[in-house]
A and B are shown apart, each in its own frame.
Chain A
Amino acid sequence: MEKKTIYLDNAASTRMDERVSEAMKPYFFDVYAVATSEFGYSLGIEARETLDSARAKILSALGNPGGRLLFTSGSTESSNIAIKGVVKKLSEKKGKHIIVSKIEDFPVLNSAKSLEREGFKVTYLEVDKYGFIDLNKLNEAINEETVLVSIQHANQEIGTIQDIKEIAEICNRNNAIFHTDATHSFMRVPINLNELGIDLLTVSAHTIHGPKGIGALYVKEGVPLAKWIDGGFQEFDLRAGVENIPGAVGFAKAVELIPEEENELLQSLRDYLIEKIQKEISDTILNGHPERRIPHNANITFHYVEGESITLHLDMRGFAVSTGSACFSKSLEASHVILGIGGNHERAHGSVRFSFGRFNKRDDVDKIVEALKDVVGRLREISPLKGEKRGKK
Chain B
Amino acid sequence: MKFPYNEKVLEHFRNPRNVGSIENPDGKSTEGSPACGDMVSVYIRVDDETKKLKDIKFESYGCASNIATGSIITELAKGKTLEEAKKIDWKEASDALGGLPKIKTHCSVLAVDGLRAAIQNYEEKHGLIKEKIPTTKEIVLKRLKHVMNPLAGLDLVRTNLVSNIEVESGTVKVEVGLPEEHQFANNIREEIVEKLESLWDVEKVVVKFVT
Residue numbers of A with Cβ under 8 A of B are 1, 304-309, 312-313, 315-316, 325-328, 332-334, 339, 344-346, 349, 381-385, 387
Are B20 and A382 in touch, CB under 8 angstroms?
A: yes
Chain B residues closer than 8 Å to A334, beta-carbon distance: 37, 150, 153
Contact among A1, A313, A382 for B60, CB-based, below 8 A: A382
Residues of B within 8 A of A316 (CB): 3, 10, 14
Q: Are B153 and A346 in contact (CB under 8 A)?
A: no
Q: Do A346 and B34 have beta carbons less than 8 Å apart?
A: yes
**A42 CB, min distance to chain B CBs, angstroms:** 47
- How far does the Cβ of B115 sit from chain A's closest Cβ, in whole Å? 14
- Encode contact with A along B1-26: 1 for CB under 8 Å, 0 otherwise: 10111000010011010011100000
Which of B3, B13, B30, B63 has its CB near the most chain A CB atoms (within 10 A)? B63
Q: How far is the CB of A70 from chain B (nearest CB, A)?
A: 36
B42 to A, closest residue via Cβ: A384
Whether the pair B37, A383 counts as a contact (CB closer than 8 A) is no
Q: Which of B20-72 contact A (CB under 8 A)?
A: 20-21, 30, 34-41, 59-64, 66-67
Between A and B, 15 residue pairs with Cβ closer than 8 Å are A306-B37, A306-B62, A306-B63, A308-B63, A312-B5, A312-B10, A327-B62, A327-B104, A332-B152, A333-B151, A334-B37, A334-B150, A344-B187, A345-B34, A381-B20
Q: Given A381-B19, A384-B30, A306–B59 Cβ distance below 8 Å?
A: no
Question: In the complex, what distance in Å separates the CA atom of A308 from the CA atom of B10?
Answer: 13
Whether A309 contacts B62 by the Cβ 8 Å rule is: yes
B128 interface contact, C-beta 8 A: no
Residues from chain B with Cβ under 8 Å of A307 in the complex: 63
Tell me whether A345 and B36 are in contact (CB under 8 A): yes
- Which of A304, A305, A333, A382 has a CB less than 8 Å from the CB of B153? A333
In the complex, what's the smallest C-beta–C-beta distance from B41 to chain A, in angstroms?
Answer: 4
CB distance from A346 to the nearest CB of B (A): 4
**For the complex, is B112 an interface residue (Cβ under 8 Å from A)?**
no
Give CA–CA (A312, B3) in the complex, Å. Answer: 8
Cα(A304)–Cα(B39), bound, Å: 10
- B residues in contact (CB < 8 Å) with A: 1, 3-5, 10, 13-14, 16, 19-21, 30, 34-41, 59-64, 66-67, 103-104, 106-107, 150-153, 183-184, 187
Cross-chain contact A385 with B61 (CB below 8 angstroms): yes
Asked if A327 and B61 sit within 8 Å, CB to CB, the answer is no
Closest partner residue, chain B, to A339 (CB atom):
B183
Identify A383's interface contact among B36, B59, B150, CB under 8 A.
Answer: B59
**B3–A325 CB distance below 8 A:** no
Q: A345, B63: Cβ atoms under 8 Å?
A: no
Least distance between B44 CB and chain A CB atoms (Å): 15
Q: Within the complex, what minimum Cβ distance (angstroms) separates B11 from chain A? A: 11
Given the contacts A325-B63, A382-B19, A312 and B4 also touching, CB distance less than 8 Å? yes
**In the assembly, what is the distance between CA of A332 and CA of B183, in Å?**
18
Contact A312 B13 (CB under 8 A): yes
Closest 4 CB pairs of A and B: A327-B63, A384-B59, A308-B63, A384-B41
Residues of A within 8 A of B104 (CB): 327
- Chain B residues contacting A349 (CB-CB under 8 Å) are 34, 37, 61
List of A residues within 8 angstroms of B20 by Cβ: 381-382
Q: How far apart are the CA atoms of A45 and B30 in the complex, in Å? A: 70
Contact A385 B34 (CB under 8 A): yes
Q: B183 to chain A: which residues have CB within 8 Å?
A: 339, 344
Contact in complex: A306, B61 (CB < 8 Å):
yes
Point out the residues of chain A lying under 8 angstroms from B10, CB to CB: 312, 316
Among A305, A306, A334, A387, the most chain B Cβ lie within 10 Å of the Cβ of A306
A383 to B61, Cβ gap below 8 A?
Answer: yes
Residues of A within 8 A of B151 (CB): 333
Q: Which of B1, B30, B59, B187 contacts A1 (CB 8 A)?
A: B1
Contacts A346-B34, A349-B34, A385-B61: A309 and B39 contacting too (C-beta < 8 A)? no
| Contact residues in A for B3 (Cβ distance below 8 Å) | 312, 315-316
**Given pairs A308-B63, A345-B150, 16 additional interface contacts (CB within 8 A):** A305-B61, A306-B38, A306-B66, A309-B13, A309-B63, A312-B3, A312-B13, A312-B64, A327-B66, A345-B34, A383-B60, A384-B21, A384-B39, A384-B40, A384-B41, A385-B61
CA distance A349 to B63 in the complex (A): 9
Q: Which residue of B lies closest to A312 (CB)?
A: B64
Instruction: Decide: A382 near B59, CB < 8 A? Known: A312-B13, A327-B37, A344-B35.
Output: yes
Closest CB in chain B relative to A390 CB, distance in Å: 12
Cβ-closest chain B residue relative to A347? B34
B4 to A, closest residue via Cβ: A312
Known pairs A306-B38, A332-B103; A382 contacts B67 (CB<8 A): yes
In the bound complex, what is the Cα–Cα distance between A346 and B187 (angstroms)?
Answer: 12
In chain B, what residue has the closest Cβ to A342?
B183
